[in-house]
């Protein structure tokens, strides 16, 4: 707890009424720290450079006390009042992203396990972008902080991208540079429609025309062709994938440190059954950016068709946790449905297919997965309902369509079971 004792600021880590560690936050010397286990917080204190002031100036004392406040915040997740100590007035600026519902009167208690809660709030409009709760051992505090840093990075990235897309949309067409064209293209791309892909491709080509060495532009064009491989006529698929591979390799050659370019190339490799090379390429994407949800999704997709469903589910779950509001979230849920379908867990497959179907960017394929899963569960009535929704979105969908849509699948048994479930749902065809 933080308190004043005879007019002096006092920091104490108290468990069930017993002081474990305590010190004066204005003079946190090791020799003047007391309690049952005075060295318990020393590692955290050293990491925060919480040490006695180098001089006796007011600024030095304020800095030491402010660091003690950060220590309390990092242990508990509590956003302290702006002026919890008489001299420290910096706390309101030190950790502006972190707040918590934990009662402020109970900073540290409950033994060596500490409930830790955090939210990411956009300062401009106080909109909550992300929140999570942790129940952790105090000695694992740095692991939790690293995890939170990754989560925040993953959450901020799409938010910043949306802002940049909005800014690019407000510019006059003749004033767009390569980056503006790229951002406008992304806005159209994430609609996941044929007209959207047409517009996205046009803007990405403009970006490359403005800057031929703009790696992201080439990577984005690769991604367009990857997505078109799913929705265009089967006769065009081989050409799309060949182009996507070429564009992806060129993008990586232009900038081998761009995680997006590696991700696009990895997806193209997976769809052409080069799963081992895709695995290595997507690992590089994740090494370059451990917070990149799209790369976790892409690697999960690749693992699934590499016969490693459990690992796929873990990666897909990670993608969903990192970016729960992702423009691609419908696909995250849908591929998780396939992972559980592959494992024969049709009830879970139904749940994830339904989650995918509730998203605004959902495609007809999620309803096919829902119908097939319900069919194999023996729920004919609901399977037929899902099939009716499927046919409304894709009137010519039949068994042949189902078989060709899994052009990337390495498991014929998966496709046979999928078709069996569709037949129960009433989908016709040979």
Domain-located, residue 127? yes
Domain extent at residue 176 = 151-314
**How many other C-beta atoms can be found within 10 angstroms of the C-beta atom of residue 428?**
12
Q: Domain check: are 390 and 297 in the same one?
A: no
Same domain for 284 and 373, yes or no, is no
- Do 50 and 21 contact (CB within 8 A), yes or no? no
The answer to whether residue 322 sits within a structural domain is: no
Residue 50 CB neighbours (<10 A): 22
Note the pLDDT tens digit of each residue in 173-210: 555 678 888 888 888 888 888 899 999 999 999 999 99
One domain for residues 279 and 350: no
Asked if 215 and 128 sit in the same domain, the reply is no
**143 inside domain:** no
Q: Is residue 183 part of a domain?
A: yes
- 178 found inside a domain: yes
Same domain, 70 and 29: yes
Note whether residue 95 is domain-resident.
Answer: yes
Same domain as 189, residue 308: yes
The per-residue pLDDT for 398 is: 96
> Are both 128 and 155 inside the same structural domain?
no
The CATH number of whichever domain residue 182 belongs to comes to 1.25.40.10
130 shares its domain with 204: no
Query: Long-range contact list for 408-417, CB < 8 A, 24+ apart?
Result: 408/270, 408/271, 408/272, 408/273, 408/305, 409/305, 410/273, 410/275, 410/305, 410/306, 410/307, 411/305, 411/307, 411/342, 414/341, 414/342, 417/341, 417/372, 417/376
Q: Which residues contact 330 (CB under 8 A, 6 or more apart)?
A: 192, 356, 359, 360, 361, 362, 363, 366
Same domain, 199 and 286: yes
Please give the tally of structural domains in the chain: 3
Residue 306 placed within a domain:
yes
User: What confidence score (pLDDT) does residue 156 get?
Assistant: 55
pTM (2 d.p.): 0.66
pLDDT tens series, the chain, 430 aa: 444 344 445 667 666 567 777 777 666 777 778 777 777 777 667 766 677 776 666 666 666 666 666 666 555 554 444 443 333 333 333 333 333 333 333 333 333 445 555 555 555 555 655 555 555 554 555 555 555 555 555 555 665 555 554 555 555 555 567 888 888 888 888 888 889 999 999 999 999 999 999 999 999 999 999 999 998 889 999 999 999 999 999 999 999 999 999 999 999 999 999 999 999 999 999 999 888 899 999 999 999 999 999 999 999 999 998 888 788 899 999 999 999 999 999 999 999 999 999 998 899 999 999 999 999 999 999 999 999 999 999 999 999 999 999 999 999 999 999 999 999 999 998 6
Q: Are residues 158 and 118 in the same domain?
A: no
Q: So what's the pLDDT on residue 291? A: 82
Contact predicate 291/151, CB 8 Å: yes
Local structure of 53: helix, strand or coil: coil
- pLDDT tens-digit map of 342-364: 999 999 999 999 999 999 889 99
> Which of 291, 314, 337 is the last residue before a domain boundary?
314
- End position of a domain, from candidates 88, 108, 135: 135
Last residue of a domain, one of 107, 135, 163: 135
Contact criterion met (CB below 8 Å) for 186 and 165: yes
Query: Do 175 and 112 belong to one domain?
Result: no
One domain for residues 390 and 280: no
Asked whether residue 367 is assigned to any structural domain, the reply reads yes
SS3 letters across 63-108: HHHHHHHHHHHHHHCCCCCCCCCCCCCCHHHHCCCCCCCCCCCCCC
């Amino acid at each position: 707890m933080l308190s004043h004792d005879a007019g002096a600021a006092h920091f104490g880590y108290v468990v069930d009424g017993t002081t474990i560690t305590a010190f004066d936050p204005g003079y946190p010397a090791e020799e003047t720290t007391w309690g049952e286990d005075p060295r318990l917080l020393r590692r955290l204190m050293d990491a925060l450079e919480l040490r006695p002031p180098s001089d006796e100036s007011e600024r030095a004392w304020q800095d030491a006390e402010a660091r003690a406040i950060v220590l309390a915040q990092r242990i508990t997740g509590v956003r302290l009042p702006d002026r919890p100590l008489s001299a420290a007035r910096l706390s309101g600026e030190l950790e502006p992203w972190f707040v918590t519902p934990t009662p402020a009167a109970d900073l540290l208690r409950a033994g060596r396990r500490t409930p830790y809660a955090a939210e990411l709030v956009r300062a401009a409009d106080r909109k909550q972008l992300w929140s999570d709760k942790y129940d952790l051992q105090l000695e694992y505090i740095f692991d939790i902080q690293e995890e939170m840093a990754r989560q925040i990075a993953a959450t901020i990235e799409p938010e910043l991208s949306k802002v940049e897309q909005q800014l690019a949309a407000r510019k006059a067409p003749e004033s767009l540079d390569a980056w503006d064209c790229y951002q406008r293209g992304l806005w159209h791309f994430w609609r996941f429609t044929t007209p959207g892909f047409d517009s996205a491709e046009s803007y990405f080509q403009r970006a490359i025309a403005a800057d031929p060495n703009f790696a992201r532009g080439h990577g984005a064009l690769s991604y367009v062709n990857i997505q078109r491989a799913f929705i265009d006529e089967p006769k065009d698929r081989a050409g799309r994938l060949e182009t996507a591979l070429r564009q992806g390799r060129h993008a990586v050659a232009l900038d081998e440190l761009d995680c997006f370019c590696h991700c696009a190339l990895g997806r193209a490799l997976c769809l052409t059954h080069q799963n081992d090379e895709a695995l290595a390429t997507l690992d590089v994407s994740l090494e370059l950016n451990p917070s990149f949800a799209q790369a976790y999704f892409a690697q999960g997709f690749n693992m699934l068709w590499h016969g490693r469903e459990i690992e796929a589910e873990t990666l897909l779950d990670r993608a969903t946790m990192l970016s729960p509001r992702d423009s691609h979230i419908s696909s995250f849920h849908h591929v998780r449905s396939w992972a559980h379908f592959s494992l024969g867990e049709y009830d879970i497959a139904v749940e994830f297919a339904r989650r995918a179907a509730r998203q605004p960017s959902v495609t007809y394929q999620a309803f096919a997965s829902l119908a097939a899963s319900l069919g194999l569960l023996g729920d004919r009535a609901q399977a037929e309902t899902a099939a009716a929704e499927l046919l409304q979105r894709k009137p010519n969908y039949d068994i042949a369509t189902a078989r060709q849509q899994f052009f990337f699948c390495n498991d014929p048994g998966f496709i046979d079971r999928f078709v069996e479930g569709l037949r129960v749902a009433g989908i016709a065809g040979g």
